[in-house]
Amino acid sequence: MVRPELTGEPFDVIVVGAGINGVGIAQDAALRGLRVVLVEQDDLCSGVSAWSGRLVHGGLRYLEQYDVGLVYESLNERERLFKLAPHLVKPKPLMVPVYKHNRRPGWMVELGMIAYDALSLRKTPPYHRALSKKKTTARFTGVGTDGLSGSVVFYDGQVENAERLCVELAVDAAAAGAVIALKTRVQAPLLENGRVVGVRAQDTITGETFEIRGSVVYNVAGAAIDRLLADPSLPAQPRLNGGTKGSHLIVDPFPGAPTDVVYYESRQDGRLVLIIPWRGRYMIGTTDIRFDQDPDEARCDIGEVDYLLGEVNTLIPEANLSLQDVLYTFSGVRPLPYVPDKAESAVPRSHVLHDHGDSGLPGLVTIVGGKLTTYRQLAQDTIDDAFRRLGRKAPPVSTKNRRYPGAQFVDLDTLKASVAGRTGLPADQVTRLVDLYGSRAFAVWQLAERYPELNRTVHPSGVLAAELVFALDEDLARSLTDVLARRVLLAFEPGHALEEVDDITKVIADHLDQDDAWAQAQIAEYREWLDKLKVPDPDGPRSESFGAGVVVGASS
């Protein structure tokens, strides 16, 4: 049966793509009283929003491009996230080692830091400070000292669980009246009488096709924005996406590893590389390679592994990391504007609302670019635009001060004490619940209290069976992969929960009243998804260059 919630009364706004920008737009639209539907072919945060370095940052390196406006906007939005989602977004110290061989001399780094602080005068974290060589090596004991003159330490934000950021925004959007249509693939805009009046879509589970009608369609499909415009029945559209692939490696703690995020200049090509403490391990990244294939096909290749490990081993001589130390990898394609004559690092990171009215598709707007830190401002700009197109006065924006659903608490320490007192769980399990759910941890625990069979752990990390049901009933999950990869995040634990997957799947299948055949299909789908995390074959294809505009295509 065609889904009546999608095919009935036309929507004011149709949003295509449920990454951080799409869910932010849906939330803003619903809170300002628009009838909005969010349409996504897979799941919340199933694209590049999950495949980033998970830093909520002001864009220090954008100062090199003289994009002061973007840095100012990013710093303001970073500060806002510290207050609106403190369980998910937390201040984090970053160290920049200064070497004599750096292309950016120490005085330039210091000048950039002064400007960075000046653009964020109302910020929560401390201002930057310069450290001598002696203090640098005391703080970062493994750092190589050849040519080291000191370092600078400054603060940005980290969102370890970016998936949870998207989930909570979508939950808030749904509570405000947004329709969230997951597992729904948009095939093409629906063009009638020379105007876009909605989209043609397909339910990816049942295979049914149908039309969703609306006054304005926003294409927020990230690096896949051009796919939505490729239907041969439509007027030809300009290429808009110039995405670049960024890959990260995950390794266990290693000799000489830092306690801070380390943000440093590559000896090989001057690019900026990061070593990021993450979920008890380390994330190393990232690369920046032009990528013209389907974004879903982006995978880390052995050339990227060699490059990143080589840089870490040069910075930290005792690290001695090799391919065998890489637990898993992940890659995403940044949704950047198509600017073929610029180097990857010079492509603008600010967002653009591209109106297709001049190319034969009035009523369709594509969002080009955007980044995690500034999603809220992008959403505000988009819905302001929607009200103009609808000929209606835009109500005040509430997202500037609206706390996330899990942020209904005074401070994290008090919340943890309250959760511990209510549940009696050990400290590490309490910390995990609060880090993932914030104050919504109490709702998870209510399930465990109400249904004794859910009051047990299903994984050594402390995940409760109640969390699996909560993911389905409250957090909009529809499959095993949704639950493991983007709700409870067991996909990123050692072993990816494959030893426990039968038990986990049974809990989910029983709750959904599904049979064993369904359960086995879900496990197979999850195993296939894990291909995204595989460590590349040492004899596989490689990208050799990282500063000269490599295009990764079919032959790479």
Angle (CA) 34-38-41 rounded to 5° is 165
Distance of CA 274 to the CA centre of its chain: 17
pLDDT category of residue 554 using cuts at 50, 70 and 90: very low
Q: Is the pLDDT of residue 533 over 60?
A: yes
- pLDDT confidence tier of residue 348, bands split at 50, 70 and 90: low
Between the alpha carbon of residue 260 and those of residues 95, 119, 442, 458, the distances in Å are: 6, 23, 32, 32
Band the pLDDT of 555: cuts 50, 70, 90. very low
Any residues with CB less than 8 A from the CB of 426 and at least 6 apart, and which? 462
Residue 556: the pLDDT is 28
Is the pLDDT reported for residue 553 higher than 80? no
The CATH number for 90-157+242-332, chosen from 3.40.605.10, 3.10.20.30, 3.30.450.20, 3.30.9.10, is 3.30.9.10
> 4-48+163-241+348-390 and 412-533 share one CATH topology?
no
Give the C-alpha separation, 465 to 504, whole Å.
8
CATH fourth-level superfamily of 4-48+163-241+348-390: FAD/NAD(P)-binding domain (3.50.50.60)
Asked if the model's pLDDT at residue 551 lies above 60, the reply is no
Rg over alpha carbons for the chain, rounded to the nearest Å, is 23
* 412-533 is classed CATH 1.10.8.870: yes
Work out the average pLDDT over 321-333: 97
pTM of the model: 0.94
Q: How far apart are CA 504 and CA 510, in angstroms?
A: 10
Could you read off the pLDDT of 377-413 as tens digits, one per residue?
999 999 999 999 999 999 999 999 999 999 999 999 9
So where are the chain's domains?
4-48+163-241+348-390, 90-157+242-332, 412-533
The per-residue pLDDT of the chain, averaged, comes to: 92
Could you read off the pLDDT of 213-248 as tens digits, one per residue? 999 999 999 999 999 999 999 999 999 999 899 999
